Amino acid sequence: MATNDSAAYDLNTFSSLLESIYKGLDESPLWQTFLCKLREEMNANICFLILRNPNPGDLGLLLNDGLPPHLSGSPNNVYSDGLYATDPFSNLPTGQVTTLEEFVPTEQLLRSEFYLRCMKPFDLLHILGVDIQLAEGLRVSLRITRGVNSPRFTAQDKDKIALLIPHLHQAIPLYARLQQMESERSLLDRTVSQLSLGTVILDDNRHVLHCNAVADRILTEKDGICSKDRQVLVTHGSEASHFRQLLNNAIDAHKQNKPHIVQAMAISRAAGRLPLNIVVRSMPQVSQVDGQTVAAVAIFISDPEYKSQTSAEMLGQLYGLTPAESRLAMALADGQSLEDASNTLHISRNTARAHLRAIFAKTGVTQQTMLVSLLLKSVAAFTANK
């Protein structure tokens, strides 16, 4: 491995490549600029970065620069569709930059199905590659290709790739962690929405940073509370003043890194509608770069008229309820009386009472209020599809 950057790259080229590796975390497609720059620097026709190897039923995650658009834009390719298993240039020694010629005799390669179907149609003959083993079982592969009329890869070419390995070793696990965090955030957001709880996150300038689906629906209705110019506003005079004070208190607590404060209020709505319930909470202070926007306040909005998203199918699985019993249980969880539920479901009151007795026996509760509480707190409330 080269011990000096200048042994392989000029300083500007090396800096540009490193910048593209870390900026590539936020690109779509991922690392497109890096692969393009690397292909040009290596005088190659295609660069591949394989983040997930193909398997039966899984085409893998192959990033590239240089493939024709009709191939790169398609999820199907001859490599992923069965020929990956016959790739002679796979499972390389970890961290060791290797050429295909070192790995497989050229005469043997030219007779292989892999060459005839995956390489020759695209004018591929020379390949330079490295496999990188990362933490938690992650393994990625970088491949650079040249055509029949291009020179073989040299020792200096190998040095160029070797200098990039430590940076790929840092950037790719960082991407994996960011993906995991986003997956967890998305799951939490959907779960909170399924609990019929609106969530709005504000920065210390009261600007909305995030708003889940329930909160967005409530704010769009503009009944007692709304959003304007990226700010959340309460529309009734005295309540608006109180709400602004709650936000001021929460923002001050955030800036001073005081223990979290939690405040609540009710927001009036149009005649005949129940008030919204609002909780305002300060968020912990975090280390930040100068000028960075961070979350300062969380607003939680509960609409007592919002229908439960409890899953009838899941209720049946949890408690052994029949479909008819599940429908009645869901109607009661939505706040209907037994009489209203029987009318809604077009069943007699005697049938509704019989269903209710069966529900009590299967769930182990003895009162309708206990049943509603049980259903709203059960895991069935987390599983409804949005």
Instruction: Supply the pLDDT for residue 187.
Output: 60
What pLDDT digit, counting tens, does each position of 275-296 carry? 999 999 998 877 655 556 778 8
Residues 102 and 251 in one domain: no
**Domain end (from 155, 182, 209):** 182
Query: Does 190 fall in a domain?
Result: no
Q: How far is CA 197 from the centre of its chain?
A: 20
Q: Is the pLDDT of residue 5 over 70?
A: no
Instruction: Supply the pLDDT for residue 3.
Output: 43
Instruction: Supply the pLDDT for residue 180.
Output: 75
Are 104 and 115 spatial neighbours (Cβ–Cβ below 8 Å)? no
Residues 108 and 35 in one domain: yes
Residues 51 and 174 in one domain: yes
**Domain end (from 118, 151, 182):** 182
Residues 16 and 159 in one domain: yes
What pLDDT digit, counting tens, does each position of 94-125 carry? 999 999 999 888 888 888 888 888 888 888 89
Query: Does 95 fall in a domain?
Result: yes
Instruction: Supply the pLDDT for residue 373.
Output: 75
**Domain end (from 122, 151, 182):** 182
Residues 100 and 178 in one domain: yes
Q: How many CA atoms lie within 13 A of 205 on its CB side?
A: 8
Which domain does 290 fall in, by range?
Answer: 197-302
The proportion of the chain whose per-residue pLDDT surpasses 90, expressed as a percent, equals 34
Query: Does 192 fall in a domain?
Result: no
What pLDDT digit, counting tens, does each position of 368-384 carry? 888 877 776 665 555 55
Query: Does 189 fall in a domain?
Result: no
pLDDT bucket at 347, cuts 50 / 70 / 90: very high
What pLDDT digit, counting tens, does each position of 313-331 carry? 778 888 888 989 988 888 8
The amino acid at 69: P
Instruction: Supply the pLDDT for residue 103.
Output: 85
Stated pTM of the model: 0.60
Query: Does 41 fall in a domain?
Result: yes
Instruction: Supply the pLDDT for residue 97.
Output: 95
For residues 205-221, give the mean pLDDT. 90
Among the residue ranges 19-33, 94-108, 174-188, the one predicted with the least confidence is 174-188
CA end-to-end span of the chain: 53
Q: How far is CA 368 from the centre of its chain?
A: 39
In this structure, what CATH number is given to the domain that contains residue 232? 3.30.450.20
For residues 144-155, give the mean pLDDT. 93
Q: Is the pLDDT of residue 59 over 60?
A: yes
Among the residue ranges 53-67, 241-255, 342-356, the one predicted with the least confidence is 53-67
Residues 41 and 119 in one domain: yes
Residues 168 and 29 in one domain: yes
For residues 352-358, give the mean pLDDT. 91
Q: Is the pLDDT of residue 63 over 90?
A: no
Compute the mean pLDDT over every residue in the chain, rounded to the nearest whole number. Answer: 83
What pLDDT digit, counting tens, does each position of 245-276 carry? 999 999 998 888 876 778 999 999 988 888 99
- CA dist 242 → 233, 261, 277 (Å): 11, 16, 14
Q: How far is CA 351 from the centre of its chain?
A: 46
Tally Cβ neighbours within 10 Å of residue 178. Answer: 12
In this structure, what CATH number is given to the domain that contains residue 155? 3.30.450.80
Instruction: Supply the pLDDT for residue 192.
Output: 56
In this structure, what CATH number is given to the domain that contains residue 321? 1.10.10.10
Residues 263 and 339 in one domain: no
Residues 176 and 277 in one domain: no
- Please provide residue 132's backbone torsions phi and psi, each rounded to the nearest 5 degrees: -120, 120
Query: Does 307 fall in a domain?
Result: no
Distance CA 279, CA 75 (A): 46
- CA dist 243 → 6, 265, 322 (Å): 61, 8, 46
Pairing of strands 139-146, 126-133: antiparallel
Residues 208 and 95 in one domain: no
Instruction: Supply the pLDDT for residue 75.
Output: 52
Per-state percent for the chain, helix, strand, coil, to nearest 5: 45, 20, 35
Q: Is the pLDDT of residue 239 over 80?
A: yes
pLDDT bucket at 80, cuts 50 / 70 / 90: low
Residues 202 and 138 in one domain: no
pLDDT bucket at 26, cuts 50 / 70 / 90: confident
Q: Is the pLDDT of residue 15 over 90?
A: yes
Distance CA 226, CA 204 (A): 19
Residues 324 and 285 in one domain: no
Are 87 and 58 spatial neighbours (Cβ–Cβ below 8 Å)? no
pLDDT bucket at 153, cuts 50 / 70 / 90: very high
Query: Does 191 fall in a domain?
Result: no
Query: Does 277 fall in a domain?
Result: yes
Tally Cβ neighbours within 10 Å of residue 106. Answer: 13
| Number of folded domains that form the chain | 3
Instruction: Supply the pLDDT for residue 158.
Output: 95
Secondary structure element (H or E) that encloses residue 277, with its range: strand 276-282
Q: Is the pLDDT of residue 85 over 60?
A: yes
Instruction: Supply the pLDDT for residue 214.
Output: 85
Closest Cα to residue 324, out of 343, 352, 291? Answer: 352
